[in-house]
Amino acid sequence: MSEETKGTVPAKVGVLGGGRMGAGIAHAFLISGSNVTVVEANPQAAAAAKERIESDLAKSLERGKIDGNLDKWAENLSVSLEHSDFAECELVIEAVPEIWDLKVSSLQQVEANLSENAWLATNTSSLSVDGLAAELKRPERFCGLHFFNPVPASKLVEIVIGQQTSDELQKLTLEWVAGIGKTPVTVNDAPGFASSRLGVALGLEAIRMVEEGVASAEDIDNAWCSVTSTPWARSRSRTSWAWMCALASRSTSNPSSAPASHRRSSCATWSNAASWARNPARASTTTRSLHSGSPA
């Protein structure tokens, strides 16, 4: 990002999905001055989303990151069940689970309810932004905004630019990310974007260390945690390990300099160790599913 880029945020922002990521994104824009509308699938999910966001607001107040009281900040939040409530939003960010058909149908429903001047973004961490854009009527007004978990504590946001993303949107995303006090990294759409590609390189090295007997999975995880305060193996779901293996196999630049067959075997080894760290009874199932080439 250029030092001259000034941070601004849209007056009205929409978030589709109020789970952990969606709630964090909503919180980020709320404390930066936006009015935020969150749309959820049912009343129970809507109530849970509201509770998550208000909890994050309360923590920000306790830590002195924002002034005032909870009621004041909550006035700028609305939680709805209707996509039509996105009609006045300048920007809507989709944050539903990483399921292709769900992402496509959700983005199409949102797009159908936006004004012609509104912008649309996906928070996907693993799906093709160009692929999603191909399913939309206005792909030039679409991009990826990849936030990291937990959003309130994470400083990085990957701005994922598709082949049809307009220059105007690329400029605006830099301003928005700066406006919510985070660091933008602009990448072109590619498997793993930038952050996950780097994570694959690190993950494959950790895998080799386990296979070579350098240390146990638990000790490697503890070593990593002491450096970064983030557990490596235990922080990943079985699906994310399968996806990491697939990304390593697809990547044209192979950070591990090992053949694909070895990478698959290695991913299975480490995923088995990761499953052991969370639930020893499921570890063998993970290994079988990864050797077969399908996520568990």
Q: Tell me if 248 sits within 8 A of 256, measured CB to CB.
A: yes
Q: What mean pLDDT, rounded, does the chain reach?
A: 82
223 CA to centre of own chain = 25
Q: Percent of the chain at pLDDT above 90?
A: 62
User: Quick one: pLDDT at residue 207?
Assistant: 83
Task: Look up the pTM and report it.
Answer: 0.77
pLDDT above 70: residue 13: yes
CA dihedral 189, 159, 84, 19 (to 10 degrees): 100
Stretch 184-207: mean pLDDT = 83
pLDDT above 60: residue 119: yes
User: Quick one: pLDDT at residue 75?
Assistant: 96
User: Quick one: pLDDT at residue 210?
Assistant: 87
pLDDT above 70: residue 16: yes
- 211-248 pLDDT, tens per residue? 899 998 888 878 877 766 555 455 554 445 555 565 66
User: Quick one: pLDDT at residue 94?
Assistant: 98
User: Quick one: pLDDT at residue 222?
Assistant: 82
- Per-domain residue ranges for the chain? 12-188, 195-292
pLDDT above 60: residue 261: no
More confident residue, 283 or 18: 18
Q: Please choose, from the candidates 143, 193, 151, 212, the residue with its C-alpha nearest in 3D space to the C-alpha of residue 171.
A: 143
CB proximity list for 135: less than 8 A, separation 6 or greater: 104, 107, 108
- 83-111 pLDDT, tens per residue? 999 999 999 999 999 999 999 999 999 99
Indicate which residues carry an active-site annotation.
146
pLDDT above 60: residue 112: yes
The count of residues in the chain is 296
Question: Which homologous superfamily does the CATH classification assign to the domain defined by 12-188?
Answer: NAD(P)-binding Rossmann-like Domain (3.40.50.720)
Q: Percent of the chain at pLDDT above 70?
A: 74
